[in-house]
């Protein structure tokens, strides 16, 4: 295989991995705080993607406002999901498996909302939203929409790390991720901390929904891409946001090389098998913290 | 214990991922009605009096709604036109629609319900090959004819080479379309090295890719790359990069509407400049506003009609005004499928039974429709040699190029 082709496949993989990283970090953030896998994140992503689509298609807004619409929608929706679906379970000190089941239910519910509103067919963002579609570097081309995902991932991830390390709310989120009860005893309003985590997670979900919607197309099942975020989160170690981001990029590259070698049909099978084997060997992922309970 | 719980969660996620490929079941869009039958145990569905019910087996809410609804709309327009003129032999027509959501099991159940409960003597079938293949043996069992747009040969021809008694195709088959595109590529574009990108889990896509590949090889051409994808894929860059490295003269991608804009766009973004040969799933209105016109400057695809034909333009305008949706290729060929059904019903006179309609479909000399004069072969239950319009896209808008057949330019 020519070097330029290998390089192009690496770029393809990095581009795809960047999208997965955005999804995975938002997903892992909630796991860090509440210790459960929040599949409702996919539903938030899906509805935000459609909100961005309406902003672009009906209100003819340019790219940046469209992204903002997606992020605001994501934040609001994520908070609503927390208030409606998760808070009551938390107050009842419900088992983690209840959170997990509820999150899957919320994903399906939000999908159904999209089916009712838009039907099961597909929609597309107008191509004019991204004026320059591709950048050429010798024989290698980079899709601008995927490049946007990569840049957004870097900015969002850097911002998130800054918030978590340098701000009071970030420190509170980190404290809550260690021990919710102890954080509460320290006089921190845990509910507000959790809401803040859902806002950030929802914004990331909205951002990834819009960017993925632009580079692919929209269907009510778009939120099921969260499975890729979940895989990356588990491989990276759900306790480590850096590990999750790295794993997402590795997953993107791996997926592209598997598709180009063994084909699209076998690729997900191999990825899931690798994941199972990897977790048997290293259950806390690349860089994660080992939790006594996961759901 | 911890490992076990992780594996349990993974299993659930894996199941969720797989479920993304499936579509949920659906309720019928119309409550079943009871009609008089010939009675007794005879497997004959008869409608001796009253409204003539015609079954309509379509995806009304699933992923193929856009194509499938085109048939419902076309049939609705035809029914309104016929009923306004007094019906057939003084009897009005009524469409009994059941939603399949592109799910084969739901389609089979819906077919059984519309035949056994609603007593429809004939059915307008879907433009979805997977469903056509699934319902063919059921139609045989129920002895009710289905006229549809299911293009795969397996929908109308059994493994032994005999036609399914009750399955009829009202547009060119996938084999015919694949062969026509191969002939056009070889004779008009002069290609030798060909790449194919197709959906390996879809009968329509496989049904088009296989004869195309065979024709290219038979003509001395070479398949330099053959890449596949599955129905839920949205990113084709890995396959297209591999195809690009094989340096083909042309890429053939017989795909569904959801995949077509993505493949055009991603091929363009990867700097692929060779002609892209598509399928008849490209909308007649072009791909704007989702696809950059720059991505579709070098493409050709087949169509059963020439959308710029003035007669079709007028009908398409009325269609759009009525349904607020542009007429698709499947609207025109769907209108022809329904017209064939109506011609068979009319020929039966007062004997509106599944047996008579099947017989009339088998012996129908021809039907003059939007696609031209459709003659169904008794050997294949497919149209005989309807030329295909080769279309291209200029500045985002479709443009007619020429009429073509597997033998070459249409006379």
Q: Where are the domains of chain B?
A: 52-172+311-374, 174-303+388-409
Query: Which residues in B lie closer than 8 A to residue A295 (C-beta atoms)?
Result: 5, 9
Q: Which residues of B touch A264 (CB under 8 A)?
A: 200, 228-230, 233, 238-239
CATH number for the domain running over B174-303+388-409:
3.40.50.2300
User: Which site among A134, A225, A270, A278 would you substitute to test the B interface, given the most B Cβ atoms closer than 10 Å to its Cβ?
Assistant: A134
Q: Which of A131-140, B8-17, B252-261 has the lowest mean pLDDT?
A: B8-17
**CB-CB contact of B275 with B250 (8 Å):** yes
Nearest neighbour of B245 by CB, restricted to A5, A37, A121: A5
Choose among B66, B244, B271: nearest Cβ to A136: B271
Helix (H, G, I), strand (E, B) or coil at B394: strand
User: pLDDT (tens digit, 9 = 90+) per residue, B276-318?
Assistant: 999 988 876 666 667 888 888 899 999 999 988 898 999 999 9
pLDDT for position A287: 62
Architecture of domain B52-172+311-374: 3-Layer(aba) Sandwich (3.40)
Phi-psi region of B65 (alpha: psi -120 to 50; beta: other; left: phi over 0): alpha
Q: How far apart are CA B99 and CA B59, in angstroms?
A: 5
Instruction: Give the pLDDT confidence score for residue A275 in this predicted structure.
Output: 85
Contacts of A276 in chain B (CB under 8 A): 7, 10
CB of B113 less than 8 A from some CB of A: no
Please state, rounded to an integer, the average pLDDT across all residues of chain B: 87
Is B16 a residue whose pLDDT tops 70? no
Rounded to an integer, the average pLDDT of B52-72 is 88
CB B125 within 8 A of CB B152: no
> CA of A152: how far to CAs of A7, A75, A222, B374, in Å?
22, 17, 19, 55
- Give the closest-approach CA distance of A259 to chain B in angstroms: 6
Average pLDDT over residues B18-38: 38
CA distance B69 to chain A (A): 11
Of residues B59, B359, B202, the one with CA closest to residue A119: B59
Kindly report, residue by residue over A261-292, the tens digit of the pLDDT: 998 888 989 988 988 888 888 877 776 554 44
- Which pLDDT score is estimated for B286? 60
Average pLDDT over residues B171-190: 96
> For the CA atoms of chain B, what is the radius of gyration?
22
pLDDT at A288: 57
**A39: closest chain B residue by CA:** B13
Note the pLDDT of residue A156.
85
- Mean pLDDT over residues B231-246, rounded? 91
Buried b (16+ CB within 10 A) or exposed e, B11-42: eebbebbeebeebeebebeeeeeebeebeeee
Asked if A270 contacts A223 with a C-beta cutoff of 8 angstroms, the reply is no
A230 lies in some domain: no
Q: What is the mean pLDDT of residues B24-51?
A: 51
**Between chains, do B268 and A39 touch, taking CB under 8 Å as contact?**
no
Query: Over the stretch A152-185, which tens digit does the pLDDT of each residue have?
Result: 888 888 888 888 888 898 888 888 877 878 888 8
Res A196 pLDDT > 70? yes
Interface probe with A: pick from B3, B5, B13, most Cβ of A within 10 Å? B13
Which range is most confident: A5-14, A175-184, B223-232, B337-346?
A: B337-346
Gyration radius (Cα) of chain A, Å: 19
Q: Spell out the residues 6+ positions from residue B265 whose beta carbon is closer than 8 angstroms to its own.
A: A127, A133, B291, B292, B295
Chain B residue with Cα closest to A225? B17
- B346 pLDDT above the threshold of 60: yes
Measured between CA atoms, the residue of chain A closest to residue B244 is A5
B257 interface with A at CB cutoff 8 Å: yes
| Number of structural domains in chain A | 1
Question: Could you count the other beta carbons within 10 Å of the beta carbon of residue A277?
Answer: 10
Give Cα separations from A31 to A8, A99, A173, B173, B375 (angstroms): 34, 11, 12, 52, 63
Total beta-carbon pairs less than 8 A apart between chain A and chain B: 143
Same fold, B52-172+311-374 and B174-303+388-409: yes
- pLDDT for A293 equals 44
**Residue A20, domain extent:** 10-223
pLDDT value, residue A289? 56
pLDDT at B358 over 60: yes
Judged against a pLDDT cut of 70, whether residue B36 lies above it is answered with: no
Q: What is the pLDDT of residue B33?
A: 36
Q: Is B411 on the interface with A (CB under 8 A)?
A: no
Whether the CB of B249 is below 8 Å from some CB of chain A: the reply is: no
- The verdict on B313 touching A (C-beta cutoff 8 Å) is no
With beta carbons under 8 A apart, name residues in chain A contacting B294.
133
Decide if pLDDT at A143 tops 50.
yes
Measure CB to CB from residue B228 to each of A255, A263, A293 and give the nearest one: A263
- Distance from C-alpha of B94 to C-alpha of B34, rounded to nearest angstrom: 13
B201–A265: do the CB atoms touch at under 8 Å? Answer: yes
Cis peptide, bond prior to residue B329, ω within 30 of zero:
no
Q: Would you tell me how many other CB atoms lie within 10 Å of the CB of residue B4?
A: 8
pLDDT in tens, B373-407: 999 999 999 999 899 999 999 888 889 999 999 99
Q: Which residue of A has its CA nearest to B225?
A: A260
Q: Nearest-CA residue of chain A relative to B294?
A: A133
DSSP string, A138-179: TTEEEEHHHHHHHHHHHHHHHHHHHHHHHSHHHHHHHHHHH-
pLDDT at B28 over 60: no
Residue B17 has its nearest CB partner, among A126, A219, A224, at A224
CB of A295 within 8 A of CB of B5?
Answer: yes
In this predicted structure, what is the pLDDT of residue B24?
Answer: 34
What does pTM read for this prediction? Answer: 0.82
| Cα atoms found within 13 Å of the Cα of residue B69, Cβ hemisphere only | 19
Mutate to test the interface with A, among B72, B238, B325 (most CBs of A within 10 A): B238
Q: Is B66 on the interface with A (CB under 8 A)?
A: yes
Task: Give me chain A's average pLDDT, please.
Answer: 87
Contact A272 B14 (CB under 8 A): yes
pLDDT band at B34 (very low <50, low <70, confident <90, very high): very low
Cross-chain CB nearest to B262 (options A8, A217, A275): A217
Tell me how far the alpha carbon of residue A78 is from its chain's centroid. 12
Minimum Cα–Cα distance from B258: chain A residue: A122
pLDDT-above-90 percentage for chain A = 40
pLDDT of residue A123: 85
Q: In what order do the strands lie in the sheet with B193-199?
A: B222-229, B193-199, B250-252, B276-277, B299-303, B388-394, B397-405, B408-409
Q: Would you say residue A251 lies in a domain?
A: no
Distance, in Å, from the CA atom of B242 to the CA atom of B187, rounded to the nearest integer, reads 26
pLDDT tens readout for residues B124-139: 999 988 899 999 999 9
Interface of B with A in 210-229 (CB under 8 A): 227-229
């Amino acid at each position: 295989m020519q070097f330029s082709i290998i390089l192009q496949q690496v770029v393809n993989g990095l581009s795809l991995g960047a999208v997965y990283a955005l999804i995975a970090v938002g997903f892992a953030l909630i796991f860090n705080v509440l210790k459960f896998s929040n599949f409702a994140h996919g539903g938030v992503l899906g509805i935000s993607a459609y909100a961005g689509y309406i902003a672009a298609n009906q209100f003819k807004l340019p790219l940046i406002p469209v992204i903002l619409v997606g992020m605001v929608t994501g934040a609001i929706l994520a908070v609503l999901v927390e208030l409606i679906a998760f808070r009551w379970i938390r107050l009842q000190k419900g088992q983690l498996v209840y959170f997990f089941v509820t999150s899957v239910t919320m994903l399906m519910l939000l999908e159904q909302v999209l089916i009712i509103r838009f039907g099961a067919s597909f929609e597309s963002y107008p191509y004019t939203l991204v004026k320059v579609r591709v950048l050429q570097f010798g024989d290698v081309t980079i899709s601008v929409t995927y490049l946007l995902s990569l840049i957004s991932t870097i900015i969002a991830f850097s911002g998130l790390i800054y918030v978590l390390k340098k701000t009071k709310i970030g420190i509170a989120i980190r404290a809550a991720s260690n021990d919710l009860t102890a954080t509460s005893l320290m006089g921190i309003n845990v509910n507000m901390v959790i809401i803040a985590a859902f806002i950030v997670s929802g914004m990331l979900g909205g951002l990834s929904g819009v960017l993925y919607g632009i580079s692919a197309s929209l269907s009510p099942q778009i939120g099921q891409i969260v499975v890729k975020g979940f895989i990356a989160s588990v491989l990276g170690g759900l306790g480590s946001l850096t590990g999750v981001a790295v794993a997402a990029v590795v997953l993107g590259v791996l997926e592209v090389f598997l598709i180009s070698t063994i084909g699209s049909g076998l690729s997900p099978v191999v990825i899931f098998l690798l994941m199972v084997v990897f977790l048997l060997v290293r259950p806390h992922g690349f860089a994660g913290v080992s939790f006594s309970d996961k759901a | 214990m911890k490992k076990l719980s992780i594996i349990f969660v993974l299993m659930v996620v894996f199941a969720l991922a797989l479920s993304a490929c499936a579509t949920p079941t659906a309720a019928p869009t119309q409550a079943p009605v009871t009609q008089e039958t010939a009675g007794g145990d005879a497997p004959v569905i008869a409608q001796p009096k009253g409204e003539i019910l015609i079954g309509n087996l379509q995806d009304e809410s699933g992923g193929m709604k856009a194509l499938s609804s085109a048939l419902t709309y076309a049939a609705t327009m035809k029914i309104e036109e016929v009923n306004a003129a007094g019906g057939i032999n003084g009897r009005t027509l009524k469409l009994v629609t059941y939603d399949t959501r592109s799910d084969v099991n739901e389609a089979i159940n819906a077919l059984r319900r519309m035949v056994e409960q609603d007593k429809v003597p004939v059915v307008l079938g879907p433009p979805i090959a997977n469903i056509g293949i699934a319902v063919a043996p059921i139609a045989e069992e129920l002895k009710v004819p289905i006229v549809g747009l299911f293009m795969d040969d397996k929908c109308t021809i059994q493994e032994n080479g005999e036609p399914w008694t009750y399955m009829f195709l009202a547009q060119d088959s996938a084999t015919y379309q694949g062969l026509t595109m191969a002939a056009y590529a070889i004779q008009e574009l002069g290609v030798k090295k060909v790449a194919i990108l197709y959906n390996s889990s879809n009968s329509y896509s496989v049904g088009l890719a296989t004869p195309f590949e065979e024709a290219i090889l038979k003509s001395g051409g070479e398949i330099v790359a053959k890449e596949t994808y599955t129905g839920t894929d949205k990113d084709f860059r890995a396959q297209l990069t591999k195809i690009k490295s094989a340096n083909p003269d042309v890429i053939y991608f017989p795909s569904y509407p959801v995949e077509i804009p993505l493949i055009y766009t991603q091929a363009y973004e990867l700097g692929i400049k060779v002609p892209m040969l598509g399928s008849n799933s490209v909308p007649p209105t072009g791909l704007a506003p989702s696809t950059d016109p720059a991505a579709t400057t070098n493409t050709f695809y087949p169509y059963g009609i020439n959308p710029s034909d003035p007669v079709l333009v007028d009908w398409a305008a009325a269609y759009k005004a009525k349904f607020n949706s542009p007429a698709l290729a499947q609207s025109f060929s769907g209108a022809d499928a329904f017209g064939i059904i109506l011609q068979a019903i009319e020929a039966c006179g007062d004997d509106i039974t599944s047996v008579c309609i099947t017989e009339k479909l088998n012996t129908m000399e021809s039907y003059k429709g939007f696609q031209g004069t459709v003659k169904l072969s008794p050997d294949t239950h497919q149209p005989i040699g309807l030329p295909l319009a080769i279309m291209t896209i200029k500045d985002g808008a479709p443009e007619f190029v020429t009429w073509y057949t597997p033998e070459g330019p249409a006379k």
